[in-house]
Structure 1
Amino acid sequence: MTEMKSQISNVVSDFFFEYETQRQVLVRNRRVGVVCRLIQLGVLGYIIGWVFIYEKGYQSTDTAVSSVYTKMKGVGYTNRSGLEQIWDVADYVFPSQGDASFVVMTNFILTENQTMGKCPEVCEESVSCPPPPLLCDASIKSQIQGHMTGLCLKQTGTCEVLAWCPVENDATIPDPPLLMSAENYTLFIKNSITFPLFDVTRSNLVEGIDGKYISKCLYHPDNDPLCPIMRLGDIVKFSGFNFTTIAKVGGAIGILVDWTCNLDRAVRHCKPFYTFHGLYGNPGETDRARASVGYNFRYAKHYMEEGQAKRTLIKVFGIRIDIIVQSLARKFDIIPTLTAIGSGVGIFGVATIVCDLVLLYVLPKREFYKNMKYKYTDTHQQVSFEK
């Protein structure tokens, strides 16, 4: 019993008060040494260059909550057959609430004094209406701007429809665009962002952008990269489109506001960067979606005249502006730093594994290295020794 207690006490003592280390063998071999150092340098370069410098593995990241407000300014002028007209912001911007996505009208087709009634429709050029007394029906291919009554009008050779009359004729798009003056409209962008993780709030009206500066500045990527006021013609040019072409049939442009901030520096260095991207609109330029070129929609202005409901139908061709906010903030954090260091130290073990494989299985003296690395014991000899 006393001997058993002594053995248990020794085992417990060995467990708590002894430390075991792996056996190390110093191998003087130039090839293996060079391979080991090259692998270690590669791992070190990966940790420093990729993990810490490029990927910023020592920082935590956050994306922003963003709000965008816009305002257009400028006055347009048209002269259609001697009829002069002024177009202000309430007429050419849709919608009018100052959203991050809106349309600026640059061309239009006007159909005035429409009333509800029956009038001739226009058939496609490849299909003509049948002569009387045959009736027009749903098999007749037409633009269908109303409900077909089934009658074919001999005077026009077209089908009769119940619709807002006269029906719109949009076969010819005005060229040059009627609102070429839109090139000089200005767009004001107000953008605020918040990085919740770091409790940082910023606006594109950064330090130095005050009322005096805004009253005279105009955005330019080199001269005034922080000015929030942009000329519509410049926006189109920076996006790679031609203004005359896109103004005729309409199109879409994306304005990207990029907030990439390193919050280890002073917050004043966190500033927006604007880029412009042509999305679609010009058939002869960067746009490749030829099935539906341009951007257009219709809206109507209704009114009463002598007790009769009337409307003016406007087919709008315009430039759709989409303001997109992209954000990424980084700041030093001890947890990702230790994680990156720990993973890097673990990867250093690759050099040892590769070199051991070369020593034990590739080199001519592999048996010699095996004997140096591993110490073998014989169970039978151990039992005899104990006796």
Structure 2
Amino acid sequence: MDKVGSLFAYKTAKYVVAKNKKIGILYRLFQLIVLGYLIGWVFLKNKKYQITDEIIQSSVKTKVKGYATITTSDGKEEVWGPEDYVIPQQGDNVFFVTTNVVDTPNQTLGYCPESPLASGFNCTEDADCKQSKYSGNGIKTGICLNITYNNSIGICEIYGWCPPKTKERSEKPMLSEAENFILQIRNVIRFPKFNFSSSNFKDKDQLKKCFYDEIKEPQCPVFRLGDIVHKAGYSFQEMAVYGGSIAIMVEWQCDLDKEWDCNPQYSFTRLGNSPTHEFKFRYVHYFTDAHGRKYRTHYSVSGIHFHVMVFGMAGMFGIIPTIVNLGSGLAFMGAGAYICDIILLHMIKKRTLYRVLKFETVKKNDKSIVKSV
């Protein structure tokens, strides 16, 4: 019957003041730790009293400045500006700066021997030059030309843009001056939840007066290309030979409770860190002479591919996250009392006494208690 009756018993808290200094100090120490965690880590460090927005809307415009002199394959000197070495020229968050180039000028459509750089075109007779649709720099015609290349007797004839490329890229970058080219990054961002907008430059004059420096000018959006590659941990001149990819990361951490506290932080890293992660491609410029004859200049270029990546978060005070985190802190306070109760009732010498004082069963017809009331 007692077991059945216990199902309908009600338990209420009974407070016992235990004058035990060790337990008292432990309890206050636990409260201080929880309070320090709540104020220092939750509110001051991580700002958990704020509503946050991690959806960042971003517009990036880039501009590269600088000039370099190169010597073309026919021995002529040319001056290249941004319109020559930056691809695409309109300035987006992804762009390519040419640092090494092999040009093949005055190509016309016709018949010629294949380049010695192509493999599989050496021959001794016409049967070695079977026609194929795609091969090397053109289409094989099935004719073996009596031209000696690489200690071979002959080389296959092709139909394509002649003459084909016959030079390898230089082991010294053709545009070594690119290390000192200047990059401007204009970034405008918006956090839609708060309808807040900002930019990484205040006015046009700022772009003319500063250069990025981690300590002296951390907010300046003007960079030397050599500094960017160096901060990514690589040598510009070495990367300029074969090319590579560099990420420029723009991180916005905005505290909108202080509107002035919304500035970007810049960091740099290489995308792919082995020599096989080079960056190269080919393109051509077409021309027509006075007689209507079409010809072109073929460019095989290596260079550095830059990718501007924008991300971030904005925060503003909100009553709901504040209440939720305060409630969590109070719950931790209760956990401290629970731990102290375990020690008091089960681990110290006077645990039996404290258990008797803390837990008391009151029966319905207990006359002693009725009289005392």
- Shared fold (TM-score greater than 0.5)? yes
Instruction: Answer whether contact 1:68 1:100 (CA < 8 A) is retained.
Output: yes
* Cα separation, partners in 2 of 1:221 and 1:358, compared to 1, 3 Å: closer
User: Counterpart in 2 of 1:263?
Assistant: 256
Find out whether 1:179 has 2:165 as its counterpart.
no
TM-score by length of 1: 0.79
* Counterpart code for 2:35: L
User: Counterpart in 2 of 1:84?
Assistant: 77
Find out whether 1:304 has 2:297 as its counterpart.
no
Instruction: Answer whether contact 2:98 2:301 (CA < 8 A) is retained.
Output: yes
Structure 1 residue 133: deviation in Å?
5.4
Find out whether 1:26 has 2:17 as its counterpart.
yes
SS in structure 2 at match of 1:215: helix
* Cα separation, partners in 2 of 1:261 and 1:125, compared to 1, 3 Å: closer
Q: Distance in 1 between matches of 2:180 and 2:227?
A: 9
Find out whether 1:70 has 2:62 as its counterpart.
yes
The one of 239, 244, 250 aligned to 2:237: 244
Aligned 1:55-134 pairs, distance under 5 A: 55-63=46-54, 64-80=56-72, 82-121=75-114, 129=122, 131-132=124-125, 134=127
Structure 1 residue 377: deviation in Å?
4.2
* Cα separation, partners in 2 of 1:217 and 1:360, compared to 1, 3 Å: closer
Q: Distance in 2 between matches of 1:125 and 1:308?
A: 27
* Cα separation, partners in 2 of 1:268 and 1:366, compared to 1, 3 Å: closer
* Cα separation, partners in 2 of 1:43 and 1:200, compared to 1, 3 Å: same
* Counterpart code for 2:189: I
Instruction: Answer whether contact 2:64 2:181 (CA < 8 A) is retained.
Output: yes
SS in structure 1 at match of 2:36: helix
User: Counterpart in 1 of 2:215?
Assistant: 222
* Cα separation, partners in 2 of 1:29 and 1:144, compared to 1, 3 Å: same
Structure 1 residue 32: deviation in Å?
3.0
* Cα separation, partners in 2 of 1:371 and 1:352, compared to 1, 3 Å: same
Structure 2 gaps of 5+ residues are 1-10, 149-153
Structure 1 residue 101: deviation in Å?
0.8
* Counterpart code for 1:41: L
Moved more, 336-345 or 346-355: 346-355
Q: Distance in 1 between matches of 2:250 and 2:359?
A: 63
Instruction: Answer whether contact 1:122 1:143 (CA < 8 A) is retained.
Output: no
List per-residue Cα deviations over 1:219-277 (Å, max 9, x = no partner): 33334333333232333333332222122222222222222222222x23422233333
User: Counterpart in 1 of 2:38?
Assistant: 47
Structure 1 residue 300: deviation in Å?
0.9
User: Counterpart in 1 of 2:228?
Assistant: 235
List per-residue Cα deviations over 1:51-97 (Å, max 9, x = no partner): 11221111122233111111222222223464121212221110111
Aligned 1:348-359 pairs, distance under 5 A: 348-359=333-344
* 4+ aligned runs moved over 6 Å, structure 1: 123-128
Aligned 1:295-374 pairs, distance under 5 A: 295-305=279-289, 306-374=291-359
Structure 1 residue 318: deviation in Å?
1.3
Among all aligned residue pairs of Structure 1 and Structure 2, give the percentage whose two residues are the same amino acid. 39
Instruction: Answer whether contact 2:139 2:160 (CA < 8 A) is retained.
Output: yes
TM-score by length of 2: 0.81
Number of paired residues? 350
User: Counterpart in 1 of 2:3?
Assistant: none
* Cα separation, partners in 2 of 1:137 and 1:349, compared to 1, 3 Å: farther
* Cα separation, partners in 2 of 1:163 and 1:372, compared to 1, 3 Å: farther
* Counterpart code for 1:271: N
Q: Distance in 1 between matches of 2:204 and 2:295?
A: 48
Instruction: Answer whether contact 1:257 1:326 (CA < 8 A) is retained.
Output: yes
Instruction: Answer whether contact 1:124 1:143 (CA < 8 A) is retained.
Output: no
List per-residue Cα deviations over 1:262-307 (Å, max 9, x = no partner): 2222x23422233333334xxxxxx3x23x2421111111223444
User: Counterpart in 2 of 1:277?
Assistant: 269
Structure 1 residue 340: deviation in Å?
0.7
List per-residue Cα deviations over 1:13-69 (Å, max 9, x = no partner): xxxxxxx96211122333433433333233222212221122111112223311111
Q: Distance in 2 between matches of 1:256 and 1:163?
A: 43
SS in structure 2 at match of 1:240: coil
Q: Distance in 2 between matches of 1:76 and 1:128?
A: 37
SS in structure 2 at match of 1:22: coil
Q: Distance in 2 between matches of 1:341 and 1:368?
A: 36
SS in structure 1 at match of 2:257: coil
Aligned 1:8-19 pairs, distance under 5 A: none
Instruction: Answer whether contact 2:115 2:165 (CA < 8 A) is retained.
Output: no
Structure 1 residue 202: deviation in Å?
1.1
Q: Distance in 2 between matches of 1:82 and 1:168?
A: 16
SS in structure 1 at match of 2:24: helix
* Counterpart code for 1:314: Y
User: Counterpart in 2 of 1:4?
Assistant: none
* Counterpart code for 1:199: N
